[in-house]
């Protein structure tokens, strides 16, 4: 296969990944607006949430960041639980449906980020020397 056609396919792949990431933004805003209060009410005893409380005063961006933080906590709770930043009881009582929504959207975001890094690296490798 020609390196120019590979470059083209990787460039198109990068565009698709970027568009997919842009389509995730409204979904994350919706999740933050609809479910953030529920999330916070279930994580009252978590110091990690208390430390990020100033995010709630930053408008929709802060709420999306808080939602992403909570999704990260739910995906990888062991480290923060050992450090005393998360409460096992709060994490255990978190609604399963909401946890699935957060974990799936956060996983998609991470997969898009990894894919974009791979495409960027491939484009850099395939770039013609000038």
Q: pLDDT tens string for the chain (130 positions)?
A: 666 778 888 888 889 999 999 999 999 999 999 999 999 999 998 999 999 999 999 999 999 999 999 999 999 889 888 988 998 899 889 999 999 999 999 999 999 999 999 998 988 888 765 5
pTM: 0.84
Q: State how far the Cα of 24 lies from the Cα of 55, in Å rounded to an integer.
A: 20
CA neighbor of 73 nearest in space, from 85, 63, 56: 85
Give every CB contact of residue 62 below 8 A, 6+ residues apart in sequence.
54, 55, 56
């Amino acid at each position: 296969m020609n390196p120019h056609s590979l470059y083209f396919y990787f460039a198109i792949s990068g565009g698709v990944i970027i568009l997919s990431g842009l389509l995730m933004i409204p979904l994350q805003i919706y999740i933050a607006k609809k479910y953030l209060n529920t999330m916070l009410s279930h994580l009252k005893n978590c110091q990690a949430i208390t430390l990020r409380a100033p995010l709630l005063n930053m408008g929709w961006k802060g709420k999306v960041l808080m939602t992403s933080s909570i999704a990260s906590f739910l995906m990888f709770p062991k480290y923060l639980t050992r450090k005393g930043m998360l409460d096992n009881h709060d994490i255990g009582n978190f609604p399963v449906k909401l946890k699935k929504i957060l974990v799936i959207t956060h996983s998609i975001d991470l997969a898009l980020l990894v894919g974009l890094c791979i495409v960027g690296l491939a484009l850099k490798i395939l770039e013609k020397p000038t």
